[in-house]
Amino acid sequence: MIGTLANTAAILVGGLAGSTLKRGIGPQYEAGLFNACGLAACGIGINAVVSHMPDSQYPVLFIVSLVLGSLVGTKLDLDKRFNDLVSRHAGGQLAQGLTTGILLFCIGTLSIVGPVMSALYGDETYLFTNAALDLVTSTVLASTYGVGMVLAAPVLFCWQGSIYLLTRYVSGSFFSDEVVCELCIVGGFLILSTGLSILKIKDLKALNLLPALFVPLIFFIIKGFLPF
């Protein structure tokens, strides 16, 4: 759990540092920062999809995940609920920033495999590496969206903590390479969708797609009970 604590602290430090930088950035530069964040999210999302899709053993699973996830998320109207909640306490742009940040911090090979390696072998290398990357990312995001980006830190802690506990005390083999691969593919599409929204190309309401991440998990749980 030391690596997860370091990862959480990195986001907090980056968020505070980035918000300090934001005060010195004039309004004329904000559009450039938004464009940079949008392009970065698109690039990271595309990379996640392209790098993991060749290793997928279930090439239709991500399509089913996105379809079912979109239906559930739209029914629950997660995007509007989250935006309304954040907007009551801060600016409307923060909701977009938090959505992007949470996906970038939580959905990636390092953030998923890291807690698994920590739980099984006490190896914190993946998480320390992820912490360094998230420090930079959170600084850039906070310089664009403000100090509210630190709210992504407790989400990351709960995410990685859940994976750690599941691996250590429930099933050490659940987060196999297959599971991580499918999660990264679906997560890549979600990150890409946030990038498109930031660039104002298409508002895909990424949070309404969020339940798609649970479809691969449910699939592999059911698969584990089948005799073949």
User: What DSSP character marks residue 60?
Assistant: T
Structure tokens at 56: 């997928």
3-state SS assignment for residue 201: coil
User: What DSSP character marks residue 40?
Assistant: H
Per-residue pLDDT of the chain (228 residues; tens, 9 = 90+): 899 999 999 999 999 998 888 776 666 777 788 888 889 889 989 998 999 999 999 989 999 999 999 999 999 988 888 878 777 756 567 888 888 889 889 987 789 888 988 988 899 998 998 999 899 889 988 988 888 899 999 999 999 999 999 888 876 667 788 888 998 899 899 989 988 988 889 888 888 998 998 999 899 888 877 765
How far, CA to CA in Å, does 83 sit from each of 29, 50, 86, 208? 24, 30, 5, 11
Judge whether 148 and 98 are in contact, CB under 8 Å.
Answer: yes
Give the closest residue to 34 by CA, choosing from 132, 134, 143. Answer: 143
